Structure 1
Amino acid sequence: MSLNIESLSAWDKSLKTDLTHTLASTVLKNYDADDALLNKSRLLQQDNRVFNISLDDDTTPVTNQRASGRCWLFAATNQLRGNVIKNLNLKEFEISQAYLFFYDKLEKANYFLDQIVSSAKDEETDSRLVQYLLTAPTEDGGQYSMFLNIVKKYGLVPKDIYNDLPFSTTSSRKWNSLLTTKLREFAQVLRSKVAKNEDIAQTRSEMQKEIFKMMTLFMDLPPVQPNQEFKWDYVDKDKKVHQLKCTPLEFATKYCNLNLETPPVSLINDPRHEYGKLIKIDRLGNVIGGTDVLYLNVDNETLSKLIVKRLKANKSVFFGSHTPKFMNKKFGVMDVQLWNYSDIGYNLNQTKEDRINYNESLMTHAMLINACHIEEGSEIPSRYRVENSWGKDSGKDGYYVMTQEYFEEYCFQIVVDLEDLSKELAEKFTSGKEEPIVLPIWDPMGALAD
């Protein structure tokens, strides 16, 4: 239906007699909408920093991923650093995110080439799959299972061993752009050779070397190999000097307490699909031969109760949300009722399922929950304390308050240990009998947190 010009004039004339619309229009033409519509009465009500369930010691400094999409690496390593602090009697500590970032990007580039080859015979260049693969082959973001893939192969090291000093570590846009351009060129070469039934082994090897060369223009190869012993001098909180000797793989398991034999698992809330079912994202990954991106789909009540269970066991919770939807960075509050959009006639009527289906909602960011508050007579928290990785200037010293309503509407994933789950839920992952629902790589549940 074509727009009727006469209708536009009539609508405009009518709106100019609507005092509510006129006032809203005056305000929004003069001020930023988020500032003008912020409900400060609601803000005052929700800005409550008291929590009756929290970690025993969560005073470690807030981290800062800066201008990079490494939130998932920060959230995952921040979740583990408390174990190192306890094991080594430290005051504060950070695991090297840069170490993981280097190997993740290197592995992603190689994984992309593998996906290009495996799809070359059955997919045209303009197919949705190939075009999606070509979109951002080495983007910074990732999923928790991809974190595990890197750690299983390369281990973990203290930040003192490999820090964020190189510019491109904290500002990765140009680096990603150059890598993407080269990988698209490589994709063309590989698809051409596959079409001609030519051997690609030598070509792949040369491409891997070229990618590594490009990588080391922006970041040095980490100074220690996964099974190579490093030496780390540190001072504990009693001001005693120590030297730790171990390999990155040993550090991950012995000091970070990450169980790589039965690693943590991901649970999501995706109302499009039946609860109690496994969901797998096809072709999503970073390490060839690594673990699939696999979730167990459960209801929000189950997720909330598992968060409480972990916090009571002194374990923080990695979670993924649609950030920065309804997030006030200045005051550090995440609440869907924080802005008076309805006062200007802007009403949102989609359910969570609708938003996922219509490209309005997906997981974009990973953070940590390290405290919650449960009102008397309830089993479900009313609010959570969230540790972000945007530095102290974001939120209140880097921390946010998240309401339960926000959690249910805009959070999608939490990561737990198998031991946190009931026997019935744990067997979904361990029995080998569950056939997962397989979603394509471009599905919103395949979004990478950055």
Structure 2
Amino acid sequence: MSAEITSSDLDQFKQDLQATPGAAALQKAVMNNGINATAENTDSKVSMTPTFSIELETGAVANQKQSGRCWMFAALNTMRHGIQAQFKIKDFELSQNYTNFWDKFEKSNYFYENVLKTADQPLDSRKVAFLLATPQQDGGQWDMLSALIEKYGIVPKSVMPETYNSSKSNELNGLLNLKLRKDAVKLRKLVADKASDADIEAAKQKMLAEDYRILAYALGNPPTKFDFEYRDDDKNYHIDRELTPQTFFKKYVGWNLDDYQSIINAPTADKPYNHLYTVEMLGNVVGGREVRHLNLDIDTFKALAIKQLKAGESVWFGSDVGQSSDRQLGILDTNIYKKDDLFNTDFTMTKAERLDYGESLMTHAMVLTGVDIVDGKPTKWKVENSWGDKVGEKGYFVASDDWFDQFVYQVVISKKYLPTELQDVIKNEYGKPTVLAPWDPMGALASR
């Protein structure tokens, strides 16, 4: 049964509005200043001071500019922190353009393979529609960058610097997605016409050659060998010759990426805690590392992040950055806006409800570089963003602990900080994780 809005309903709504105390003044304020500015809470600004009991020393923030590579910047930031400290290069950066090149190239192949896998399904099937909606994009997740590094290594930013298209990615993304959709038409037709595997592979190889050319024109040629030349903070000159991207990673970062685990906090009924999950059609490198998420309760989730910070290691994390945030001030706080009070309306939803009903998901990745612990409990967190130094405190943000509870969905933790029982879950379930649908919110790509 459906019920229309009647004229008597409208009369009652108008009467209710007129009877609301201060309605005229509030209406004028909201109309002239906007919702956020009118609802902004001064108390939040006072409480979110950038002072922390545990704080790592890190250099100047990076700037992803007009691109959605936050996940890449955040991951490379966690890796450069060690280089900055060990080799005394305070503001050193790794090349985000290098990993961007290979990410887009591998995503093209990943798309082709998924097109072929779903070629027997109609265009209006949910999976095919999902696949064609965004053939590739700037966004990603931790395991996807790990897959790239394991295959291609990394290089200093000086060796493959930013280009117009890496920093302002809209034109390249539009062109590449046009190309991939056009290729999808041909691949599906080849399958429908019962072409041989050899003919399909030959067509795909031609497509990939074209993709490589597009990326090389837009982003430059990825280096295969280079010299690493720099001056340290003491003004001493250094040069390391004849490095490859793989040897550079081994020598200057030296991580075993298998030692790091994506941990999520997804308190929905379909994802019991203490189990491993993956997401169908989520990835970039065919034949490379696959996404694996260990779902934990929020208390354990936070305790692991604190443990890693106490050990002097920064923490990659994924969040819904647009929720309860002031970009210019660099404040992430559930109390930054008093919208419930302003509109006399309860906007409260649980974290699980927001995930289930499409109100929230991971949109942005950043790095935890500090935490303020008072009486044994975290009160606020220091966040290294990648939006340049004109926002926040020279690019660093402050997140309240409640905001962390509500809007942080993923952290990456070294397995050595996990208790034995959780390490056993990873070992036992890695080859048989629960597979989530492609559109599950835990498959969202950080792209802000």
Same fold (TM over 0.5): yes
Letter in 2 for 1:431: N
Letter in 1 for 2:228: W
Q: Paired residue for 1:234?
A: 230
Letter in 2 for 1:408: D
Q: Paired residue for 2:172?
A: 175
Q: Paired residue for 2:92?
A: 93
Aligned positions of 1:148-187 closer than 5 A: 148-164=146-162, 166-187=163-184
Instruction: Confirm or deny that 1:327 pairs with 2:325.
Output: yes
Asked if the contact 1:330–1:396 (Cα under 8 Å) also holds between the matched residues in 2, the reply is: no
Alignment partners' CA distance in 2, 1:212 and 1:188: 19
Instruction: Confirm or deny that 1:50 pairs with 2:54.
Output: no
Aligned positions of 1:409-448 closer than 5 A: 409-432=406-429, 435-448=432-445
Letter in 2 for 1:416: I
Letter in 1 for 2:309: L
Q: Paired residue for 1:271?
A: 267
1:264: how far off? 1.1
| Residue aligned with 1:438, SS | strand
Letter in 2 for 1:158: P
Alignment partners' CA distance in 1, 2:265 and 2:274: 10
| Residue aligned with 1:402, SS | strand
Letter in 1 for 2:238: H
Letter in 2 for 1:299: D
| Residue aligned with 1:374, SS | strand
Letter in 2 for 1:204: K
Q: Between 321-330 and 60-69, report the one with greater CA deviation.
A: 321-330
Instruction: Pick one of 22, 37, 40 that aligns with 2:39.
Output: 37
Letter in 1 for 2:10: L
Alignment partners' CA distance in 2, 1:91 and 1:12: 60
Alignment partners' CA distance in 2, 1:282 and 1:142: 14
Q: Residue by residue, what CA displacement relative to the aligned partner does 1:327-382 show, whole Å, maximum 9, x if unpaired?
A: 11122111111111122213213111111010001000000000001112x2x311
Q: How many residues align?
A: 438
Q: Paired residue for 1:372?
A: 371
Q: Residue by residue, what CA displacement relative to the aligned partner does 1:28-81 show, whole Å, maximum 9, x if unpaired?
A: 11112111110112321x2222211122x32x0111100000000110000011
| Residue aligned with 2:374, SS | coil
Instruction: Pick one of 189, 193, 210 that aligns with 2:190.
Output: 193
Instruction: Pick one of 16, 19, 36 that aligns with 1:17.
Output: 19
Unaligned runs of 5+ in 2: none
Alignment partners' CA distance in 1, 2:75 and 2:360: 23
Q: Paired residue for 1:396?
A: 393
1:210: how far off? 1.4
Asked if the contact 1:281–1:292 (Cα under 8 Å) also holds between the matched residues in 2, the reply is: no
Q: Residue by residue, what CA displacement relative to the aligned partner does 1:286-322 show, whole Å, maximum 9, x if unpaired?
A: 0101222110000111111111111111100000000
Asked if the contact 2:259–2:414 (Cα under 8 Å) also holds between the matched residues in 1, the reply is: yes
Asked if the contact 2:48–2:400 (Cα under 8 Å) also holds between the matched residues in 1, the reply is: no
Q: Paired residue for 1:257?
A: 254
Alignment partners' CA distance in 2, 1:86 and 1:31: 45
Q: Residue by residue, what CA displacement relative to the aligned partner does 1:400-419 show, whole Å, maximum 9, x if unpaired?
A: 11111100101100001111
Alignment partners' CA distance in 2, 1:432 and 1:348: 38
Q: Paired residue for 2:210?
A: 210
Asked if the contact 1:15–1:22 (Cα under 8 Å) also holds between the matched residues in 2, the reply is: no
Cα distance, 1:433–1:193 mapped onto 2, change above 3 Å: closer
Alignment partners' CA distance in 2, 1:26 and 1:91: 49
Letter in 1 for 2:214: M
1:126: how far off? 0.8
Letter in 2 for 1:100: T
Q: Paired residue for 1:137?
A: 135
- TM-score between both structures, scaled by the size of structure 1: 0.94
Unaligned runs of 5+ in 1: none
1:90: how far off? 2.1
1:216: how far off? 2.2
Asked if the contact 2:48–2:380 (Cα under 8 Å) also holds between the matched residues in 1, the reply is: no
Letter in 2 for 1:221: N
Asked if the contact 1:271–1:352 (Cα under 8 Å) also holds between the matched residues in 2, the reply is: yes
1:434: how far off? 7.1
Letter in 2 for 1:169: S
Aligned positions of 1:62-81 closer than 5 A: 62-81=61-80
Asked if the contact 1:389–1:398 (Cα under 8 Å) also holds between the matched residues in 2, the reply is: yes
Asked if the contact 1:266–1:416 (Cα under 8 Å) also holds between the matched residues in 2, the reply is: yes
- Alignment RMSD, CA only? 1.4
Instruction: Pick one of 386, 400, 407 that aligns with 2:404.
Output: 407
Asked if the contact 2:292–2:430 (Cα under 8 Å) also holds between the matched residues in 1, the reply is: no
Letter in 1 for 2:235: K
| Residue aligned with 2:230, SS | strand
- TM-score between both structures, scaled by the size of structure 2: 0.95
Alignment partners' CA distance in 1, 2:107 and 2:44: 43
Letter in 2 for 1:367: M
Q: Residue by residue, what CA displacement relative to the aligned partner does 1:163-220 show, whole Å, maximum 9, x if unpaired?
A: 11x2111000111011111111111111111112102111111111111122223121
Cα distance, 1:248–1:325 mapped onto 2, change above 3 Å: same
Alignment partners' CA distance in 2, 1:280 and 1:271: 16
Asked if the contact 1:117–1:194 (Cα under 8 Å) also holds between the matched residues in 2, the reply is: yes
Structure 1 consecutive aligned stretches of length 4 or more whose deviation exceeds 3 Å: 431-435
